[in-house]
Amino acid sequence: MAKGLTLSSFGLIWLTIIVLSFGQILIKMGVGSEKIPISKNPIRMMANILGRVFRPKTIAGFFLYVVGTFIWLMVLSRVSLSIAFPLFSMSYFLVVILSATILHERVVWRFAITGLVLISIGVTFIGFSGPPNSKAVGIGRDPSSLQRHTIREVCVPQKLRLARHSERDSRVSSYHGAEYDEKHD
């Protein structure tokens, strides 16, 4: 069973993101900026595509994809997919930055930053929907050992909760005691 997010698994997720993002940049550099010609002849079209596939930068990009996939398999053996995959969407940040800096692609930062912030907010919400942890992220903790906490338990001071529980317990026991007395009279 996959465990919660640890510092090492978080590092592996980021290593995967970095390797695959650079792989994507190399593939784009290998393919180039000119369009692959489309041909009515399927053999000619396949030759056009394979001509781009076998360029050194494209092959290097595919190699990084293979390495990144092996790292991702290590991540999935350690972390639940519902936690790991939303974090993987942080690769959008890196790819946009690398595209602008390495490939010199024109990026309208006003829209890019807005979109990336929205992605981050979405990832945060998905993270909140995961299994509750007694610590902020549960780094280094086995999720099966964590107690589930409600918002009330986290926000209401323990002394106040204990006072409420003892008051409730006394009401419940007196109620059940009265029921018991009525049945046995």
Minimum mean pLDDT among 9-23, 88-102, 124-138: which range?
Answer: 124-138
Q: Are the C-beta atoms of 103 and 29 separated by less than 8 Å?
A: yes
User: Is the dihedral angle over the CA atoms 78, 81, 86, 92 positive or is it negative?
Assistant: positive
For residue 184, give the DSSP letter.
T
The per-residue pLDDT for 72 is 95
Q: What percent of the chain has pLDDT over 70?
A: 66
Q: Concatenate the DSSP letters of all residues of 16-38 into one string.
A: HHHHHHHHHHHHHHHH-SSPPPP
57-98 pLDDT, tens per residue?
Answer: 999 999 999 999 999 999 999 988 888 888 888 888 899 999
146 has a pLDDT exceeding 50 = no
CB 86 within 8 A of CB 123: yes
Q: Is the pLDDT of residue 49 over 70?
A: yes
Higher pLDDT, 29 or 133: 29
Under 8 Å CB-to-CB from 99, ≥6 apart: which residues?
Answer: 25, 28, 105, 107
Query: Is pLDDT at 32 greater than 70 in this prediction?
Result: yes
140: left (phi over 0), alpha (psi -120 to 50) or beta: left
The answer to whether 100 touches 107, Cβ cutoff 8 Å, is: yes
